């Protein structure tokens, strides 16, 4: 099937061509050491392939949130770690004299250009900045899905100035997201959890129109329970949003989307590791208790829902998973989803900072069909928004 955007397969002969490749090299660093190289690893397939094909590979990326150019936000710091992960030489090119440095490169060479955000106009998508980047290259590849929800010069403006292609990581992400919500196999289930309704309103509204089963867990389930007249005690709950919760439940009804709220929950009077807990029906929460996880009966019922579904998209943990034992439901349901994925009966896609952490904690991140580490871009995609960096790649 023809994709909506061009990929590295559509680039033709690239030998000797200068290819500007937007990657996400915004890695966490402590004392000059990269503490999580996931993003560097994600850049490897595209950069290696283009280098193998004889392109002059010029990596564009941002690093941190510099207000003005500063050494601690220099991508020179990331060049060595990237070289290690890539297993081949990587040069660093400063903006000053970049034209000459690029002109000296040979086919197959790889260089990381300095932080795109050293130009004040990068984040404003200023034409002059995109022009400046474009002058350094012949072709443009965007491989940074995680930066695609921002219309910046290096993620959007540049795509209108040079022939533009999706890199391999971008392509894999878009393929997975398309399978999960673009053209999914039904029935589709969504798990939406996490702390608050207020941060996921648009996600919930969008899911209601897209999926057959909406599973609501986490702190936000408390607001929905409160909307249904449940006394949630001292639980995290946005009482001012119960009206909104009711609207979402009504919209779900109209759209034939079945909403699953927990009917048993795990409660405690103190929020600390391994406190005394009770497992109770949602109608039995005492005034001084907090709901911190969904209960075993609800978890088992949700597993049965997933068994009858073909597709799952998951954002947000079902409980306060960082604090034992309130990771129990999240871990159990994640393992069920992983097993069903292994059996070939479920396509499972998950994303979100805490969700990825929870799936890692459950030891199943590799057993899902796809786990997105894109954070903001993943959420905006779940909200049904057009991502400017992706839209700009349209054929």
Lookup result for tokens 């941002």 = 62
Catalytic one among 64, 108, 303, 353?
353
By Cβ distance, which residue is nearest to ligand ADP?
194
C-alpha closest to that of 22 among 113, 131, 86: 113
CA 304/CA 269 separation, integer angstroms: 31
Locate 47 and state its tokens. Answer: 């950069």
6 flagged as catalytic:
no
- Give the footprint of ligand ADP on this chain (CB under 6 A): 194-195, 199, 218-219, 236, 291-292, 315-317, 319-322, 352-355
Binding region for Mg ion (CB under 5 A) out of 176-184, 212-220, 328-336, 351-359: 351-359
Q: Among residues 51 and 146, whose Cβ is nearest to ligand ADP?
A: 146
Residue choice 178, 284, 354, 383 for contact with Mg ion (CB under 5 A):
354
C-alpha closest to that of 112 among 78, 86, 153: 78
Q: Kind of pairing, strands 188-192 and 213-216?
A: parallel
CA 93/CA 101 separation, integer angstroms: 7
Rounded to the nearest whole angstrom, what is the least distance from the CB of residue 334 to ligand ADP in the complex? 12
Q: Which does 291 bind (CB under 5 to 8 A by kind): Mg ion, ligand ADP, none?
A: ligand ADP
376 flagged as catalytic:
yes
Q: Tell me the backbone φ, ψ of residue 114, rounded to 5 degrees.
A: -65, 160
Is 202 among the residues that bind Mg ion (CB under 5 A)?
no
395 flagged as catalytic:
no
Q: Among residues 296 and 353, whose Cβ is nearest to Mg ion?
A: 353
**Sign of torsion over alpha carbons 51, 56, 57, 63:** positive
Catalytic one among 3, 376, 384, 385?
376
Q: Among residues 64 and 375, whose Cβ is nearest to Mg ion?
A: 375
The HSE-up count of residue 281 (CA atoms within 13 Å, CB side) is 2
- Omega within 30 of 0 (cis) for the link into 187: yes
Rounded to the nearest whole angstrom, what is the least distance from the CB of residue 266 to ligand ADP in the complex? 9
Is 66 among the residues that bind Mg ion (CB under 5 A)?
no
C-alpha closest to that of 252 among 303, 178, 189, 319: 189
Interface map 300-339 toward Mg ion (x if CB under 5 A): ----------------------------------------
CA separation (Å) from 64 to 68, 70, 117?
A: 11, 10, 8
**3-state class (DSSP) for residue 19:** strand
Catalytic one among 6, 22, 39, 117?
39
Is 376 among the residues that bind Mg ion (CB under 5 A)?
no
Rounded to the nearest whole angstrom, what is the least distance from the CB of residue 374 to Mg ion in the complex? 13
Rounded to the nearest whole angstrom, what is the least distance from the CB of residue 220 to ligand ADP in the complex? 8
Rounded to the nearest whole angstrom, what is the least distance from the CB of residue 206 to ligand ADP in the complex? 14
Report yes or no: 159 and 128 within 8 Å, Cβ to Cβ.
no
Q: Which does 320 bind (CB under 5 to 8 A by kind): Mg ion, ligand ADP, none?
A: ligand ADP
Binding region for Mg ion (CB under 5 A) out of 35-43, 246-254, 302-310, 353-361: 353-361
Q: Which does 167 bind (CB under 5 to 8 A by kind): Mg ion, ligand ADP, none?
A: none
Residue choice 233, 353, 376, 384 for contact with Mg ion (CB under 5 A):
353
**Sign of torsion over alpha carbons 121, 173, 51, 81:** positive
Q: Which does 219 bind (CB under 5 to 8 A by kind): Mg ion, ligand ADP, none?
A: ligand ADP
Is 275 among the residues that bind Mg ion (CB under 5 A)?
no
What are the strands, taking DSSP E only, across 17-136? 18-22, 29-30, 33-34, 56-60, 91-93, 110-113
Lookup result for tokens 């405690």 = 268
Q: Tell me the backbone φ, ψ of residue 143, rounded to 5 degrees.
A: -120, 10
CA 395/CA 389 separation, integer angstroms: 13
Catalytic one among 53, 161, 196, 205?
196
Report yes or no: 58 and 21 within 8 Å, Cβ to Cβ.
yes
Q: Among residues 296 and 353, whose Cβ is nearest to ligand ADP?
A: 353
Number of Cβ atoms within 10 Å of the Cβ of 63: 23
Q: Which does 262 bind (CB under 5 to 8 A by kind): ligand ADP, Mg ion, none?
A: none
Q: Among residues 116 and 348, whose Cβ is nearest to ligand ADP?
A: 348
65 flagged as catalytic:
no
Q: Give the residue numbers annotated as catalytic, written as ranges.
A: 39, 196, 353, 376
| Residues near Mg ion (CB under 5 A) | 353-354
């Amino acid at each position: 099937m023809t994709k909506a955007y061009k990929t590295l397969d559509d680039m033709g002969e690239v030998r000797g061509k200068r290819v500007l490749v937007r990657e996400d090299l915004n890695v966490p660093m402590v004392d000059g050491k990269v503490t999580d190289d996931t993003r560097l690893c994600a850049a490897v397939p595209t950069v290696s392939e283009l280098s193998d094909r004889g392109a002059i590979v010029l990596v564009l990326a941002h690093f941190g949130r510099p207000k003005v150019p500063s050494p601690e936000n220099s991508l020179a710091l990331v060049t060595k770690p990237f070289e290690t992960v890539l297993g081949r030489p990587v040069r660093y090119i400063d903006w000053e004299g970049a034209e000459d440095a690029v002109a000296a490169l040979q086919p197959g060479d790889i260089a990381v250009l300095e932080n795109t955000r050293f130009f004040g106009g990068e984040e404003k998508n200023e034409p002059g900045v995109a022009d400046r980047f474009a002058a350094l290259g012949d072709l443009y590849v965007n491989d940074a899905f995680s930066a695609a929800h921002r219309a910046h010069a290096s993620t959007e403006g540049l795509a209108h100035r040079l022939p533009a292609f999706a890199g391999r990581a971008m392509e894999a992400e878009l393929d997975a997201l398309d399978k999960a919500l673009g053209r999914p196999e039904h029935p589709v289930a969504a798990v939406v959890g996490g702390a608050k309704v207020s941060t996921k309103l648009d996600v919930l509204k969008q899911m209601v129109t897209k999926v057959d089963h909406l599973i609501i867990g986490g702190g936000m389930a408390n607001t929905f329970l409160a909307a249904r007249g449940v006394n949630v005690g001292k639980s995290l709950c946005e009482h001012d949003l119960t009206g909104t919760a009711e609207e979402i439940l009504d919209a779900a009804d109209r759209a034939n989307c079945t909403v699953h709220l927990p009917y048993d929950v795990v409660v405690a009077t103190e929020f600390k590791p391994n406190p005394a807990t009770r497992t109770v029906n949602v109608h039995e929460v005492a005034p001084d208790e907090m709901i911190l996880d969904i209960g075993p009966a609800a978890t088992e019922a949700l597993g049965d829902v997933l068994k009858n579904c073909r597709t799952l998209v998951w954002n947000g943990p079902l409980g306060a998973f960082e604090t034992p034992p309130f990771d129990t439901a999240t871990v159990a349901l994640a393992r069920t989803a992983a097993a069903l994925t292994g059996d070939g009966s479920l396509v499972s896609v998950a994303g979100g900072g805490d969700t990825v952490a929870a799936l890692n904690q459950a030891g199943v991140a590799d057993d899902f069909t796809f786990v997105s580490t894109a954070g903001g871009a993943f959420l905006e995609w779940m909200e049904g928004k057009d991502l400017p960096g992706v839209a700009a790649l349209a054929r």
